[in-house]
Structure 1
Amino acid sequence: MSLHGSLKSTADFGRCYEAYYPMLCMIAYEYTRDKVLAEEMVGDTFLALWEKRESLEITTSVKNYLIKSTQNTCLQYLRKKKLQIRRISDETEWEHIPWSDDYPLGQLFEKELSDKIAQAIETLPPKCREVFQLSRIDEMSYSQIAGALQISENTVKTQLKTALSRIRNALRDYLPIVLILLANGRV
């Protein structure tokens, strides 16, 4: 189906914008965690759609096309931001400039991720949480943990594997933030 055929007029395009804009902003917000930035990403998506309307061929529904386009716009933005952060880090002797007081969004990302990690740890079963904290926070070896808790090293490994899996699962929606922090060596 051609886009031009489904959005024949400015009025049709306007109705499409009104119908999908709120949903697309929610999707973009999941990537950016910033309302204004999310709205900008969706605006860019609609602008690109308008500019290509005469030649664009859509093989799925307009809704699915817009969702995918919004996701791609957000991912492109995050990749670009990651490269900018890396370039700034490479070009200066002050490695943490993007996360300074002049970069509140970075601080917000870092705090939000830290809070989510703490929440994920708190939801672990008690023994699993204890093994995780001894390993990752107290930096104890498997044998030290096994001795302290009077359990086998295999049990320590199993509990730690379970903890990491649950934490990873709890943080799966925060991949964009993790990518930005990784780019700056913060994780």
Structure 2
Amino acid sequence: MEDTCFDQLKLGDERVLSAYFNRHGRALLLFAYRIVADASLAEELVQDAYVKLWAARHRLESDAHIKSFLYRTTRNACIDHLRSTDYRMQAVSGESLAENSIQTDSDLLARMIHAETLQLVYAEVKKLSPTQQQVFKLTFVEGLTTEEICSQLEMTANAVFIARSKALATLKRVFKDTDLFLCLTFYALMERSADFPTLT
């Protein structure tokens, strides 16, 4: 499937861009947002990365090259934006925000992995039952107590406990080799941001 998409891209089939956006778009958005802390800007920079991908399609060597190209292009665009406004940050704090945001290859890889893991968390949360999603978000995003959740959802404490336990058990099963607590913490921070689009 990946080879087919890559071949279609090289041949100039614009429709295949949507497949690559579905594959990497959400993780790239999270990746960019962590750097620029602005959801609208992050979305714009990611869209630009796909425009550049299309323009550079003839130079790409493999499907894996596409992923690397998208992350590096997005990272560079984020840093270019920070540099363009950096003089304001330096005037306030005396520090260069752009220079502090420049990452080594190992830093870039770590952020790629983290963004893609978080994308998986979003995807798995969406697979939970509606009740489990509600209890999960009220617990880990809103920080409500069991009593408050019971009142808001008109559920018993036992029902809330069961829904939360099932949700966590599902996520632990999927992310058994990952630091689930870290993922949930960052998930909650992203969801609480008024600037970042929440799950529907």
TM-score for both structures, normalised by structure 1: 0.39
Larger radius of gyration: 1
